[in-house]
Every structure is written in C-alpha cells, then in structure tokens.
Chain A
Amino acid sequence: MTRDIVLRVIGKILIPYALVFALYVQFHGDYGPGGGFQAGVVVAAAVIFYGIIFGLAAARRAVPEPLVESLLALGVLLYAGVGVAGILLGGNYLDYFVLDHDPVHGQLRGIFWVEAGVGITVSGVMLKIFYLFAGRGRDLEEG
C-alpha cells in the first residue's frame, strides 16, 4: 500500500484542500450549512486519510497522540468557558447576549467560540477513536 504511487500523489494533493475546506465549513457555519461538528469530522477525515496511505506511524508523527487528547479536552473547556463567561459578564450560563455591547454581536461572538470548541473536540475525538482502533492489534504485538 505505501508504495502505491497514485494514492500517495493524490493524497498529497487532496489533503491540504480537505483541511482548507474544513476551515470554510467551520467559519461559514454562521451563514450557511456547516459548523463545528462537520468541520471537525472533515479535519479528522483528512488525517485519517493520511494515516491510511502513509501508515499509522506517520500519522502519529504528524499529529501526536498527546496533542489529540489535549485537543478533545480543550474543545470542551472552550465550550464550557463560553458558558462561564456568560455568568462572569452578568448573564446566565451560556448567555450570548452579554458577550458584547450589542446582543446580536454577542450572539455571533458566542456561537463562534462555541462552534470552535465543538470543532476542536470533534476532530480530537474522531482521531482518538481512529488511533485507538487502528493501533489496537499492533500496539499489543509491539508490547
């Protein structure tokens, strides 16, 4: 598999575009179909694609496992942090209206950070699942 030239070339061409597309899905989620969940999955899919073509070890070098675990925790913290920010600024938990002078701007700001948190967590979780399943048999053999 790793010597298959067609896959390697196509993969190298496609993966950067997939990552950019993920950013588009993430940030365009405010105005159209998209959002953090879909973007997170696309990011994870790009890395998983890389892992399938170039091998699990290469994927782990590119996106190390401790980083993945931190990402999935950080995303949840970001989401919950927006909630706490609402309380600190005098509103209720997850109150977007108080995040800016203008309630509508506050909503945009709130949903932006919440979606960012979702995107980070989802990409982290998907990658973690892939690493765990893909590495299961191999890690045991290597001891």
Chain B
Amino acid sequence: MGLLGHFTYWATVFILMTGLYIVIARGNLVKKLVGLGIFQTSVYLLYVAPGKLIGGTAPIVGGAFSVYSNPLPHVLILTAIVVGVATLALGLALVVRIREAYGTVEEDELLEADAKDD
C-alpha cells in the first residue's frame, strides 16, 4: 500500500479541502452552497470507496459468487445524498428569500445592509 494504494483517500481529502475552501473564501451565497455540496461529496467517496472489493459482486447469495462488496456504505450514502439534496434545496430557497429581502446575494453587501439596520 504505497501512495497510490491510498488514492481514494487522496481524492477524498482533495475534494474535502476544495469544498471547504469555497465555503470559506467565496462571498457569493450561491457559490458557498456549491462549495458545501462539494464538501459533502467527499463524504460519499470516503464511505463508498472502502466498501468496494475489486472483483466483488453485489451481495446476492448464490453458488457462483464468493466475493461480495459491502452494501452497507452505499445505503448509508444514499441517505446522506438525500440529506444533501434537502440541504441544498433549503439553502437555495433561503438565498431566493434573501435576494428578495435585500436585493443582493453578496456577503459583503449583506453585512453592510445589516450594519445599517442596527
């Protein structure tokens, strides 16, 4: 298991950091949500990749198969994907409402508007 043997983990870390960076560094509320989506995607990879056995089949009981992939991570991640979709929809709905209330979706302009309210 050299550097390449862990390549799914490297990919996971890269996606994770990319997403987190976008969430932190971007001021546009929609772009932040995109970053959040990428960040969540890293979890999917973290769970699903180790569940796969090269050469393994779906876990169907039968005489011809003896090597199975682990189905549990897929089921977990299906749930996590649904949660991610719900979060994204809710986040976008909030952005629409913010845009209607403030007329902008840029974080710095929102902060200015809030400062005036206080």
Which positions in B face A, CB cutoff 8 Å?
Answer: 78, 82, 89, 92-93, 96, 100
Contact = CB atoms under 8 A, between A and B. Distances in A.
Contact of A133 (B78, B82, B96, B100): B96
A44 B82 CA distance: 15
A5 B12 CA distance: 46
Contacts of A140: 100
9 contacts: A37-B78, A37-B82, A129-B89, A132-B93, A133-B92, A133-B93, A133-B96, A136-B96, A140-B100
A45 B79 CA distance: 20
Main secondary structure of the interface of A (DSSP, over half): helix
Contacts of A132: 93
Nearest to A118: B82
A113 to B, nearest CB: 19
A46 to B, nearest CB: 18
B41 to A, nearest CB: 18
B113 to A, nearest CB: 20
A128 B100 CA distance: 20
Contacts of A133: 92-93, 96
A67 B93 CA distance: 21
A5 B96 CA distance: 33
A133 B99 CA distance: 13
A29 B19 CA distance: 34
A79 to B, nearest CB: 13
Nearest to A41: B85
Interface string A125-138: 00001001100100
Contacts of A37: 78, 82
B71 to A, nearest CB: 12
Contacts of B93: 132-133
